[in-house]
Amino acid sequence: MTKLFLRPASWLAAGLILGGLVGFTSLPELAPYHDGDEKLGGDTTVYETGRNAFSLSAANMASERQTRFFVGNSFFKKAWVEAPSSTTARDGLGPHFIARSCGACHALDGRGAPPQFDKQLQAEQPMALLFRLSVPGASGPQPEPNYGGQFNNDAIPGVKPEGKVQISYQPQTGSFPDGEPFELLQPQYRFTELGYGPLHPQVQVSPRIAPQMIGLGLLEAIREQDILANARAQAAANLGVSGRANYVPDAYAGKTMIGRFGWKANVATIAHQSAGAFNGDIGITSRHFAQEECLPAQRDCRQAARGGKPEIPKDKLDAVIFYSRTLAVPAQREADSAEVRRGKWLFSQAQCSSCHVASYTTGPLRGLPEVSGQKISPYTDLLLHDMGPGLADGRPDGLASGQEWKTPPLWGIGLFADVNGHTRYLHDGRARTLSEAILWHGGEAEAAKQRFMAFNKTDRAALLRFLESL
């Protein structure tokens, strides 16, 4: 027996066996990488980082269509001015508004941030963070009687703004199972210096931050049947995830359609979203949104000067809509690196992918060949989910309850720092890091969050690295 131990061959055999055993248990699992996986936006994908990353036209856009893109860009980003003005193409701002242009909130076509604080004091009024208002009604939520469907904290001279928004944050501390501490900020919103009397005692408020503008035409081209298939798959998996579609009236289609856009999937088409936002956020009228949002009690608003009828003509609005639908999605960075692939595998393990559905092939979208038939990876099921009381706003929207939110797409999420100089996430920008954003997940997402929390530090870092690559 002793002689066996001393033979070199025995040592070799033992070494190989031990080595094999050790190797087998410590090989980390990685998601596969295939050439082209980084093209999150299919053929619209651009390879760009930095501040211009969200502002490029779809890479597959024909050169003759670029002009319309530029016209749309111009009317998206340039300030609207009070009427009357020499530049009649761009006047009609207000009378009530929250921003002077689309680009003011969707800066560089990117994600808005909540107001800055300077030594614990709120340094500015929110602009990229808007507040939807409503009161409960017999047949669903109604606009607040004196302030309407949205709080406007700015106005043209001679008209009172609706008031000011004061924000404060309550810290909540906790720790991961491995002991690492974290802090979350719970926002509270108050309305002060009200211009038209007190708010209704049962007012419902929903803070909504401006999301990034990339890939919107692609989302519009996802087939309705694929969205509904997501819901069926979740129900069948029976894991506590039960997404459902929102159905909302669309001004352009003149009928009710599946919602895809907005934080509660409360808008069906980019056309409706653009025209609605022009009207609600900037005070610019158009064919389908022909009235200024001035309430009966807001006499100064009702009497203020108007721009043309409508303030944005059809062809310019159509250009803005075209622009909004054809902004390119930047490619995933370092998609083939081990850490990103590890994070992607863990994303699936934790079942984040139940709601943040990775891939689709888009259907045809009339007039928009750039986005039709594309293999895309938006990481969203476009469905509503109950996210728990911590994130709830208490305000129903269409079929969405006061506790439901639509799964936002994750593409571009790793570029907010590059484009917009901040890292604020979730519907009101309360999360300062991606980790905080995950920690806010509750309700249907509670189990997935717990799985993330239970990962060791290296694995958590890998998952975050994967998110940052998108």
Partner 1 sequence: MRKTLLAAALLGALLSPVHASAAEVSREAVVQQYSQIVFASYEDSLLTAKALQNAINAFVAAPSEAGLNQARQAWLAAREPYGQTEAFRFYGGPIDDARGPEGQINAWPLDEAYIDGVKGKPTSGVVNNRKVVISKKLLSSLNERGGEENISTGYHAIEFLLWGQDFDSNGAGKRSYTDFVDGQGNNADRRREYLKTAAELLVDDLSYLVAAWQPNSNNFRARFEKKPDALRQMLVGIGVLSRAELAGERIEVALDSRNQEDEHSCFSDNTHRDIATNARGIQNVWLGEYTRVDGSLLKGASLRDLVAASNAKAAERVTADMAATQARAEAIKAPFDQEIVNKDGRSRVQATVAALKKQASSLVEAAKAIGIKKLNVNG
Q: Which two tokens stand for residue 392?
A: 């709830």
Which position among 46, 155, 231, 268 is part of the footprint of partner 1 (CB under 8 A)? Answer: 46
Contact stretch for partner 1 (CB under 8 A) within 105-113, 170-178, 353-361, 445-453: 105-113
Contact stretch for partner 1 (CB under 8 A) within 5-13, 80-88, 384-392, 393-401: 80-88
Angstrom CA distances, 419 to 75, 91, 287, 339, 463, stand at: 20, 28, 33, 24, 22
Which position among 12, 22, 66, 235 is part of the footprint of partner 1 (CB under 8 A)? Answer: 66
Contact 159, 301 (CB under 8 A): yes
Contact stretch for partner 1 (CB under 8 A) within 100-108, 169-177, 233-241, 404-412: 100-108
Determine if 287 is a binding residue for partner 1 (CB under 8 A): no
Determine if 51 is a binding residue for partner 1 (CB under 8 A): yes
Q: How far apart are CA 108 and CA 105, in angstroms?
A: 9
Q: Which two tokens stand for residue 359?
A: 């891939």
Which position among 44, 45, 73, 234 is part of the footprint of partner 1 (CB under 8 A)? Answer: 73
Q: How far apart are CA 412 and CA 329, in angstroms?
A: 7
Q: What angle do CA 258, 218, 398 make, to 5 degrees?
A: 20
Residue recorded with tokens 């024909």: 62
CB of 331 to partner 1, least distance (A): 10
Determine if 157 is a binding residue for partner 1 (CB under 8 A): yes
DSSP letter (8 states) at residue 386: E
Residue recorded with tokens 């509660």: 264
Contact 167, 115 (CB under 8 A): yes
By C-beta, is 226 or 334 nearer to partner 1? 334
For the window 194-233, what string marks contact with partner 1 as x by the rule CB under 8 A? Answer: ----------------------------------------
SS3 call for 148: strand
Determine if 316 is a binding residue for partner 1 (CB under 8 A): yes
By C-beta, is 156 or 439 nearer to partner 1? 156
Which position among 67, 359, 433, 456 is part of the footprint of partner 1 (CB under 8 A)? Answer: 67
Contact 148, 74 (CB under 8 A): no
Element (H, E) at 83: none
CB of 416 to partner 1, least distance (A): 12
Residue 40: closest CA among 358, 381, 437? 358
Determine if 185 is a binding residue for partner 1 (CB under 8 A): no
Which position among 39, 90, 424, 460 is part of the footprint of partner 1 (CB under 8 A)? Answer: 90
Q: How far apart are CA 110 and CA 210, in angstroms?
A: 8
Determine if 78 is a binding residue for partner 1 (CB under 8 A): yes
Element (H, E) at 318: helix 314-325
Which position among 421, 454, 456, 458 is part of the footprint of partner 1 (CB under 8 A)? Answer: 421
CB of 64 to partner 1, least distance (A): 11
SS3 call for 362: coil
The bridge status of strand 181-192 relative to strand 164-175 is: antiparallel
Which position among 10, 88, 256, 361 is part of the footprint of partner 1 (CB under 8 A)? Answer: 88
Which position among 29, 124, 178, 193 is part of the footprint of partner 1 (CB under 8 A)? Answer: 124
**Residues of the shown chain interacting with partner 1 in the complex, contacts defined by CB under 8 A:** 46-48, 50-52, 55-57, 63, 66-67, 69-71, 73-74, 78-79, 81-90, 93, 99-101, 103-105, 107-108, 112, 124, 127-128, 157-158, 305, 316, 420-421
